[in-house]
Amino acid sequence: MGSTSGHDAGGDTYDALQRSLLLLVATKALRGAAAPGEYDAMVNGQALAEAMDAAYLQAKARTHPVDKFGYQLGGCAAVMLIQDAGAVFPGRMPDPGPPLGTVAYRGYLAGAAFSLAMAVTEAFQDVILPVWSQPDVRDHFLDLVDEIVADPDYPPRAAITSVVNCLRQFREADEQLAAPPPETMPAPADRSRPRSIPWRPIGITALATVAVLGLLQWMIPTIPYAFLPGGRTGTAAGQAPADPIPLPPGAPTTVSLAQRLPNTKVQLFALADGPSPARGAQTVPGVLPQVSAPVLRINGRMVFQLWLSIRDPHLPPDQLSLSVYGTAPTVVTDSHLMADADHPVAPESHLDAGDFIPVHTIDTGGSPTIYQFVLSAPPDRTTVGYWCGYTAKPVQILVTTSDNASAATTTYPVYVLRDKDC
């Protein structure tokens, strides 16, 4: 969600959206690290907002073209929380909550800073940090946080640099373990073919961020069960958790600021109950489906159809571009342009790759232009891509006019259920 190019290009509006997103992520992470009911009673929300604003500005100043903004922001957020802890929690700190598990002995502030750094980096860098598959890196990170908490004179610049380096080590250590022998390394992807439509960051990145803002209370778990080494109750790997997996939380009914296209109606259908789209199982920009979010098991697949139809037949149809996004590690596959709801016409491999494609001209007689794709949930090698229980993995559609003057996004909530190796 937080690329350096979009970060630079979006201007004041984009910065405001990113700050709002940061505050929502921080609030969710800090509430989850606290004992039940204590966070809201003890936090000074204005002080937290100011601390996160300062973290955002520091991250912008520290991010160079070769840097990754999400890592810088995760480090800045953690250090600013520690520095401003007295103002953010003016009375006393909350007690550590059960989700902190074996790290609770380090105290709430250390656990909260750790949780905050992880949550912010994952949200803004679009990565999954393998926290518990790298115990040495994790313990080094927590020792560093303890040092910063214990030393009020710890230089902020050095603290941020050290935290950012620790965040990067999670992925670097994980990639080293994952690397196959050289002779089995796959050939690099063929990038010789240009994308059908080049990526246009101005406005589009901000719009995608807005859609996520409306879903954050649903998407970001308080602290996932897999945050604990053996699940939420500390059971050994491979055993069923002592507590039953709860039902997934409800989704919001609206997504604010979804915008609309001049003369195009956008409908996204989940074909969960058969091959025919059902009215209740659809989203339109700003409104989520009436039915419950579908649940995929790992290795599961869900078919979606996007219907684009003209709004006013007396006006010319919009010239549009389209892109489809799954939330990692879910992937979009088997995309097709359809002749109708039942018959594919041609594959759209660029949609599978996350690229923008030009939309076929919409019929002014009322027939929709239909694209069908499959959202699949392949196994994640580190298992942290799907937390124990239900993990929100929404699929998002972004449709823009060819001149990039108007855009609309619609998001369909999806859960992936992991009930093994918890």
Among 4-8, 36-40, 66-70, 371-375, which is the least confidently predicted range?
4-8
Residue 374 reports pLDDT greater than 90: yes
pLDDT recorded at residue 229? 37
Residue 232 reports pLDDT greater than 70: no
CB proximity list for 99: less than 8 A, separation 6 or greater: 32, 33, 222, 223, 225, 227, 228, 232
pLDDT recorded at residue 251? 53
Whole-number Å distance between alpha carbons of 277 and 265: 16
Which tens digit of pLDDT belongs to each residue from 71-84? 899 999 999 999 99
Q: Are 399 and 407 in contact (CB under 8 A)?
A: yes
- Give one DSSP letter per residue of 350-416, joined into a string: HHHTT-BEEPPPPPTTSPPEEEEEEEE-PPPTTSTTS-SEEEE--EEEEEEETTSS-EEEEEE--EE
Which tens digit of pLDDT belongs to each residue from 241-252? 444 565 565 555
CB proximity list for 200: less than 8 A, separation 6 or greater: 356, 400, 404
Which tens digit of pLDDT belongs to each residue from 178-204? 334 444 333 433 333 333 333 323 334
Please state the rounded mean pLDDT for residues 272-295: 70
pLDDT recorded at residue 56? 93
Count the Cβ atoms, other than its own, within 10 Å of residue 259: 16
The more confident residue out of 319 and 217 is 319
Residue 206 reports pLDDT greater than 50: no
Count the Cβ atoms, other than its own, within 10 Å of residue 403: 9
Please state the rounded mean pLDDT for residues 48-63: 90
Whole-number Å distance between alpha carbons of 259 and 245: 36
Average pLDDT taken over every residue of the chain: 75
CB proximity list for 278: less than 8 A, separation 6 or greater: 269, 291
Q: Selecting from 3.20.20.220, 3.40.50.300, 2.40.110.10, 2.60.40.10, what CATH number does the domain 253-418 have?
A: 2.60.40.10
Q: Are 221 and 391 in contact (CB under 8 A)?
A: yes
Q: Are 174 and 133 in contact (CB under 8 A)?
A: yes
Which tens digit of pLDDT belongs to each residue from 315-326? 999 999 998 988
Q: What is the pTM of this model?
A: 0.52
Whole-number Å distance between alpha carbons of 283 and 277: 11
pLDDT recorded at residue 127? 66
Which tens digit of pLDDT belongs to each residue from 327-365? 888 999 999 999 998 899 999 998 988 888 999 989 988
* Domain locations in the chain as residue ranges: 4-179, 253-418
Please state the rounded mean pLDDT for residues 217-227: 42
